[in-house]
Structure formats: structure tokens, C-alpha cells
Amino acid sequence: MKANVTKKTLSEGLGLLERVIPSRSSNPLLTALKVEASEAGLTLSGTNLEIDLSCFVPAEVQSPQDFVVPAHLFAQIVRNLGGELVELELSGAELAVRAGGSDFKLQTGDLAAYPPLTFPTHADVSLDGGELARAFSSVRYAASNEAFQAVFRGIKLEHRAESARVVASDGYRVAIRDFPASGDGKNLIVPARSADELIRVLRDGEARFTYGDGQLSVTTDRVRMNLKLLDGDFPDYERVIPKDIKLQVTLPATALKEAVGRVAVLADKNANNRVEFLVSEGKLRLAAEGDYGRAQDTLDVVQGGSEPAMSLAFNARHVLDALGPIDGEAELLFSGSTSPAIFRASGGGGYMAVMVTLRV
Amino acid sequence: MKANVTKKTLSEGLGLLERVIPSRSSNPLLTALKVEASEAGLTLSGTNLEIDLSCFVPAEVQSPQDFVVPAHLFAQIVRNLGGELVELELSGAELAVRAGGSDFKLQTGDLAAYPPLTFPTHADVSLDGGELARAFSSVRYAASNEAFQAVFRGIKLEHRAESARVVASDGYRVAIRDFPASGDGKNLIVPARSADELIRVLRDGEARFTYGDGQLSVTTDRVRMNLKLLDGDFPDYERVIPKDIKLQVTLPATALKEAVGRVAVLADKNANNRVEFLVSEGKLRLAAEGDYGRAQDTLDVVQGGSEPAMSLAFNARHVLDALGPIDGEAELLFSGSTSPAIFRASGGGGYMAVMVTLRV
């Protein structure tokens, strides 16, 4: 096997695989990259048993032959090479990697022992990859990395008539994003850590879904991915979305982020980074208090709703997370001091955060 | 006390102090910042008992009064403020910090209990701050952070007739930088960690030295600093600088850094990241070998000296460190396979690295 490939495309492919393939494992086979050669190019693949990933890299190949190599070493070597073009040559159990004045000989692994990775060839439904990635990344923060209940470590994907919805929650807050989608897809829960990898590999353009047994496969023009799904019932989050909005304020999201960041410096870390929101007479006053002093910040807002004033308290971290995906104007919808509040982008956009208030 | 100060100058001053003042300490007094107010401005100072630092910030001050505040909280609050101008007002035990719509009240500390920091008013000798900072930062890598012998954790400063020299060593390598200086200064050893802070605060312009008892004070137009010095005899490093150069190569420093970085990927971490240097016929061949394969890189060099060929081995990390301060062409001077080698910038510049070779 002899292949000529540009350093840039090979590095990009290896960069995706490197994030999935573990650098250490009790099963050393899993640290390997499998390379399948055809005359059109090289198919790189790897797995961490949660995610299988495969990526095609166009190359000029003579006498195609498959092999496995240590993934991270190979990626590091390729990244450090000089020049634009890389030459790969397999002879016996050694892979030569050449470019400019460099000549590396890398030991290959046991191809026969490498676990078989299979990717589906048909598609059940198709979504836009860019929309899906943006939706997942908007709600990702609300999924827990540690929660005891597995569903809180996942992101739910729901298919509706003319749209799809992703939802994440850690039990204290819910993040939701709707986006345009058609087709009759299934509802499912993707582990948040797998969603992180999906966000990275998806680009604008078709993302084809294939449903398997406890598994979702996603195929784009560039990559193929199998994801293990989470089992279980996602909580009935619609129940906590307040319907009866009594007071509503609109203000620039950036100004609010900066002000919350400021007062949070003095907020008590042992009391949920508590920040009070006091709305009245077209002003939002933020206040925090801790061992070292008190902070107060006043912002002008456009105020609406039936109640003339309200006072609520939130965890400052959660407020900053919820505002993260909002650019431009933010709308805060309050239904009472002790009921959940909604933070969303003014004028829609499909994103919404629902947060519990701290006790006043 | 009431002061108006620009956010930018106050933040810059606090940024310097924040690096010296510990964020936690068994003695909470040490986490405080002392602010001395005069009609011309505010003098910020702090200490970690190794380094005392003081920095003047111009401000409009009414009814000057001194106070202490939690250093890191105060710095964080100021950094996060909106607007250009900050208003400080001391009333009782509270410092108000105001800007735009923000109003912070910070508890001040016990001024009387804060340890007295004294800075000298006369100067013994004067150096250029920029030259000194560049010299310290060129040799810093060769000082050890952990060595058992204290002198290996320091950087020696030597005064000569028309120049000064800084030297650092960890016993395996020596880094030296000479720079123009006049005046009759003392030789001394600055702890490398204190040199790091000096590098940060010094700029081009006069750095005035005052010698104290086991202490050096450095004064510039902006800052005053007291440094505890290291006691002890610095090793006789001149003994290891090879005099009898048998082979010499010149090549672009960047090409060599990149090639060493490349082959080092396969070098054995458990064998000192060993990289072999083989010089002959106008070529430098680098080779490394480890559990996963072999790497080789060939570079064109300008070769000189009485020996036609030589083979040596180095720790790749040490080679990369030694090349760090060299831009443009690098000169490698070899006196034999088992004698130390010199790496320096071609055409002088005052910097030189001396490295032991690994056994062939």
C-alpha cells in the first residue's frame, strides 16, 4: 500500500478521530486507528465503545491494503510534518510516513484483532446538520455531567410536525431549542458527551439518521457515526414551563451578562451564588451579598405585564448559562417570586431557558 | 477618602499586585492589598514574604486616607466594571466602588495589623530594565523549580567591566546571557520565581538597584520591589563551557526546532527523550527511536571545524529549551561526542546554552 495525501485533509480527519479514540485504555486495541484504503482514498475509523466514528480522506492510493496504527502518535506525527504532501507506505508490519526530509517508521497493530465497526447504508430520516449542531450546543450547558439519573446526562431530541426540538435539564433548569425539520423521526435521548462530538463533526448540509437497536447512526458527506442512546423516561419538562406571565422585561443580553458577572463576584459561593433580581419602574436592580461585602447594579429595561414590581433570586451561574445562547435583546418572563422564570431571545429564534428561583 | 481613577490604570496596577499577593494564606492578612492615598494618587502594595511589590496609580484624591482590602476580590470587581472611570469612597470600614450603574460595598481590613513594607529611597547602581528582563527570560528555563540545592532554583547576576551576565543551571545545562551594563554592582542570586515577577514588571528604562541585607530592591518609575536573595555558592559553570570546538554547524533555528519536535514524538520518554544528532557532509541527521517506531529527519547545514563527522545524543526537551531564545540562524558548537555542546545565536547577541550529551 502506498498513498499520497495532503497534510491538511489527513490532519483534519485525524483531529476528529483523536477526540473519540482514547489515548489510554485497559484494552490497548481501542487506542488504535483503523485505516481502510481504497483507490479513492483512506477511511479512518475508531471507537470508544460509546461512539464509533469514521471519516473519509481523499488520497491517491496504490495497492490498497488496510492497517491499524497507534492513533494519537500517528496524528501527532502528521501534525508536526513539514510540507504539504504526506507519503504513506506499508511494508510488512511497518508504516512509513514521509514528508520533506522526514522519514518515520511506525509499528502497525493487529488488524485481525481490531473490533469490527459497521455503519448503516440506508437512512430513515434526514435533518440539517448545522441546525442540529447549533441546537445541541445551545442546550448543552443544562445537561449534567454527573447526575445520578442517566436522563439528566442526556439531551432529548423530539420530532414534531414541522420542527424538531432538543431539550436538556439537570432538574434545576431546562434548556429548549426548536428548529425547522421535516420527516417522521423518532424521539430519543443522546448522551450529552456524545452530543459534544456530534456538534464538532456536523456542518451545514444533510445529516442522515438511521435508527438501530439502542443506537443512532448519523451520516454526512464526510463522516459516519454510531452513538449509543440513553434509555429511560425524560422528565415531563413542559409541566414546569410557566404559562401565566405576570411581569416581563426586555434588555440587551450583553449588558445583563456583564452586570450579573460583576455582582456575582461578591455573591456567596456557599449559597448558590445567589443574585437577587428586583424589577420596578423600568429598572432591573441586581443585588448580591457575601462575606466580603455587597454589590448592586442597576439596568434600564423595557417593562411589561400586569404586576408593577417583583423580586426574585437566582443562581448567578445558572443565569449566565441561560443567557449564553442569547445575542441581541433578552426577554425575561416572570410568573411569580417562587415560580420558574423564562429567559429567551427577544423575537423568538427557538431558544428558551426555564429556571427555578431560589427561595426569597 | 474619595478617589477618581481610570479603570485601565487601576486594573493594570492591580494585575501586577495580584500575581504577588497570595489568594489564600494561613495568614489572611497577606491576602490583602494595602492602598496608601495621597493627593497625587494611590500606592498599591502587597507581599508574599518573598517579594514585596508596590505600584503607583495616578488618581484624583480628596481627603487621603489609607486602607486595606481583599486584593483578589477588589481586582476582580474593578476588572468587571463597566465604563472608563472608577470612583472609590471610604466610609467607616466600607470601601464603595462605583462605576456606571454599579455600586459595590467592600469590607476593608485591619490597617494597623498589616505588616509594614519599606522600600529604599537611594540607589546603588542602575541597569536598563528591558535588557535585564530579556536576559532573565532567556535563561529562566534552565533554572530548576524543584532542585534540592537552592542555587539551582536561582538565577545568578554577575557584574563585569562593561557588561552584566545572568546565568541559570539545573546541573545538566547552563544558560547564559550577557548584556551591556555599567556601574559597580554586586554579584547575587535571585530566586527564579522572583525573577519571573521581575520579568513581568520591568520595562525599558531605568531599573535602580539597592542592596540590602540578603535582599535586593529594584525601583522603576512605576514600581518598587524588594526581593529576598538566595544564599550559597553558584557552581563554577565556566569550567563546563567547552573551549576546543572540533565541529560546528549553522542552520535556521526554526527548522531545527521543528525537526527536533517531530522526531521527539517517537523518542523514548523513559530514556531522556533521547535524540541523536549525526553530522557529516553538510547534513545534520536527527534520529529517535521508541516503543512504537523510529523517526529520522535530515537538514542541510553549513558545516565547519577540524572533524569531518560527529555523532552525539541529547535530551530533546533540553534541545528545544536551549533553542527557545534563538531567532534566525543557530550555531551548534561540538567538542566531542561525550563533551558538552554549545548552542548559540549565530552572530552573537550574548546568549549561549551549554548542554551535556547523553551517553552514545
Q: Pick A101's closest partner by Cβ from B77, B80, B297.
A: B297
How many residues are recorded in chain B?
A: 360
ipTM of the complex: 0.87
pLDDT at A215: 96
> Which candidate in B292, B296, B298, B320 is best for mutational testing of the A interface (most A CBs within 10 A)?
B292
Nearest CB to A106 within list B73, B292, B298: B292
Contacting residues of A for B82, CB less than 8 Å apart = 258-259, 262
Q: Which residues of B touch A262 (CB under 8 A)?
A: 77, 80-82, 102
Chain A positions touching B72 (Cβ under 8 A) are: none
In a mutagenesis test of the A interface, which of B294, B299, B320 is the best target, namely the one with the most A β-carbons within 10 Å? B294
Shortest Cα distance, chain A CAs vs residue B295, angstroms: 4
Residues in chain A with CB shorter than 8 Å from the CB of B288 are none
Of B113, B140, B156, the residue at which a domain comes to its end is B113
Say whether B102 and A294 touch across the interface (CB within 8 A).
Answer: no
Q: Is the dihedral of CA B343, B345, B346, B349 positive or negative?
A: negative
Cβ-defined contact of B265 to A106 (cutoff 8 Å): no
What CATH number is given to the structural domain containing A266?
A: 3.10.150.10
Instruction: Give the DSSP letter string of A179-235.
Output: EE--S-PPPEEEEHHHHHHHHHH--SSEEEEEEETTEEEEE-SSEEEEEEPBPSPPP
Where is the domain boundary, B55, B83, B113?
A: B113
> For chain A, percent helix, then strand, then coil, each to nearest 5?
25, 45, 35
Which CA distances in Å does B250 have to A8, A276, A311, B63, B310? 31, 66, 72, 65, 15
CA distance A82 to chain B (A): 8
Decide if A234 is inside a domain: no
For chain A, which ranges sit under pLDDT 70? 360
Sorted by sequence, the CB contacts under 8 Å of residue B190 that are 6+ apart come out as: B136, B154, B155, B157, B198, B216, B227, B229, B230
Alpha-carbon distance values, A261 to A258, A306, B80, B97 (Å): 5, 29, 7, 16
CA closest to A294 among chain B residues: B105
Interface of A with B (CB under 8 A): 70, 73, 76-77, 80-82, 94, 101-107, 258-259, 261-263, 265-266, 291-299
> Could you tell me if residue B233 is inside a domain?
no
Helix (H, G, I), strand (E, B) or coil at B196: helix
Partner-chain contact B105 A293, CB within 8 Å:
yes
Cβ(B167)–Cβ(B175) below 8 Å = yes
User: Considering CB atoms only, which of A103, A263, A293 is closest to B296?
Assistant: A103
pLDDT at position B353 is 98
Report yes or no on B138 lying in a domain. Answer: yes
Q: Read off the pTM.
A: 0.90
Minimum-distance CB partner of B298 among A101, A104, A259: A101
Task: Give the pairing type, strands B206-212 and B188-191.
Answer: unpaired
Spell out, as residue ranges, where chain B has pLDDT lower than 70.
Answer: 360
Based on the fold, state whether residues B310 and B250 are members of the same structural domain: yes
Based on the fold, state whether residues B131 and B157 are members of the same structural domain. Answer: yes
CB contact under 8 A, B77 and A295: yes
Q: How far apart are CA A283 and CA B229, in angstroms?
A: 56
Same domain, B92 and B138: no
Q: Are A102 and B259 within 8 A, CB to CB?
A: yes
Q: Show residues of chain B in contact with A259, CB under 8 Å.
A: 82, 101-102
Closest alpha carbon within chain B to A108: B292
Q: Do B80 and A294 touch (CB under 8 A)?
A: no
Contact residues on chain A for B262, CB-CB shorter than 8 A: 77, 80-82, 102
Residues A298 and A215 in one domain: no
Which residues in B have their CB inside 8 Å of a CB on A? 70, 73, 76-77, 80-82, 94, 101-107, 258-259, 261-263, 265-266, 291-299
Quick one: B173 and B250 in the same domain?
A: no
**Hey, how many other C-beta atoms are within 10 angstroms of the C-beta on B252?**
17
Q: Could B298 and A82 be called an inter-chain contact, meaning their C-beta atoms sit closer than 8 Å? A: no
A297 CB neighbours in chain B (<8 A) are 101-103
Q: Which residues of A touch B259 (CB under 8 A)?
A: 82, 101-102
Contact A102 B262 (CB under 8 A): yes
What is the arrangement of strands in the sheet containing B274-280, beginning at the earlier edge strand? A60-62, A2-6, A85-91, A94-99, A102-107, B293-300, B283-290, B274-280, B309-315
Residue A350 placed within a domain: yes
- Tens-place pLDDT, residues A27-45: 999 999 999 999 999 999 9
Same domain, B109 and B197: no
In a domain, B301, yes or no: yes
Q: Which of A80, A104, A297 sits opposite B102 (nearest CB)?
A: A297
pLDDT score for B360: 67
Distance CA B323, CA B255 (A): 11
Domain boundary among B84, B113, B142: B113
The CA distance from B79 to the nearest CA of chain A, in Å, is: 9
DSSP states of B297-327: EEEE-EEESS-SEEEEEEEHHHHHHHHTT--
The answer to whether position A286 is within a domain reads yes
> Given A107, A297, A298, which is nearest B292 (Cβ)?
A107
Residues B134 and B109 in one domain: no
Shared domain check, B263 and B165: no
* A224 and A265 share one domain: no
Mind telling me how many Å the CA of B109 is from chain A's nearest CA? 10
Please check whether residue B253 lies inside any domain of the structure. Answer: yes
* Same structural domain, A351 and A245: yes
Look at chain A and report how many structural domains it folds into. 3
- Inter-chain CB proximity A104 and B293 less than 8 Å: yes
Contacts of residue A198, Cβ cutoff 8 Å, sequence gap at least 6: A132, A133, A136, A190, A218, A225, A227
Residue of A nearest to B95 (CA): A293
- Is B234 domain-assigned? no
| Nearest chain A residue to B108, by CA | A292
Identify whether residues A71 and A139 lie together within a single domain: no
B171 & B74 share domain: no
> Residue by residue, what is the 3-state secondary structure of B127-167?
EEHHHHHHHHHHHHHHCCCCCCCHHHHEEEEEECCCEEEEE
Subunit contact A265:B80, Cβ cutoff 8 A:
yes
* Minimum distance, in Å, between the CA of residue B108 and any CA atom of chain A: 8
Cross-chain CB nearest to B262 (options A81, A259, A266): A81
- List the domain range (segments joined by +) for residue A61: 2-113
CB atoms A259 and B104 under 8 Å = no
Of A103, A104, A295, nearest to B104 by CB-CB distance is A295
Q: How far is A296 from chain B (nearest CA, A)?
A: 5
Helix (H, G, I), strand (E, B) or coil at A163: strand
Tell which of A24, A256, A292, A320 to mutate to test the B interface (max B CBs under 10 Å): A292
Q: How far is A275 from chain B (nearest CA, A)?
A: 14
